[in-house]
Structure 1
């Protein structure tokens, strides 16, 4: 296994720092996501996307338990179903937002090349 030279390691380190600094400057200038308020709003949106289906399913379960009493708890079963659906909705929204954020990032000035690989498999 070939180990990279010190010069090659320093070159990679300098490229990584340059890319990171450029992304920070871009984020400060563009403010593409609205800052803190965007983050708080998005957190609230995700929270309600989980809570709303859970509460609706629980309400239906309570109604079913009063209407059709039995050993089986509709409330508990539908609460778990609503929670699962809410989590899937939240996961989908976060995935879409992550993809949107990745698209708006500036491309790397120095994309990694196979020659820059620190751990060659040869």
Structure 2
């Protein structure tokens, strides 16, 4: 089944999403400061944990092969990229 043309229009989808969010805001009210701080904390951990895992894995591989920071630096950057991507996806869902 195909969707009606107005359902495929991104502008219509955006307006409906905005209206749904506004109705939710009217129903639930403004989130508290504690909720905002909790979201910031979760976002920080979503970014930091993959970086730490990359650093620890890199140090272990470097120690195993005696290669200085050959593995640590790229795995740290991969962890950063993965953490930022995960944080972005999490914020889009919120």
Please say whether Structure 1 and Structure 2 have the same fold, judged by a TM-score greater than 0.5.
yes
Report the structure number with the largest CA radius of gyration. Answer: 1
1:31 alignment counterpart: 29
CA RMSD across the alignment: 2.2
Give TM-score, length-normalised by structure 1: 0.52
Deviations 1:24-45 (Å, cap 9, x if unpaired)?
xx8587325x311110000000
Matched-pair contact (CA < 8 Å) for 2:58–2:69 = no
Provide the C-alpha distance between the structure 1 equivalents of 2:68 and 2:53, rounded to a whole number of angstroms: 22
Matched-pair contact (CA < 8 Å) for 2:48–2:83 = yes
Give the counterpart of 1:56 among 50, 53, 56.
Answer: 53
Q: Give the secondary structure class of the aligned counterpart of 2:47.
A: helix
Give TM-score, length-normalised by structure 2: 0.67
Q: Any stretches of 5+ residues in structure 2 without a counterpart? A: 1-21
**Number of residue pairs aligned between Structure 1 and Structure 2:** 72
1:75: how far off?
Answer: 0.5
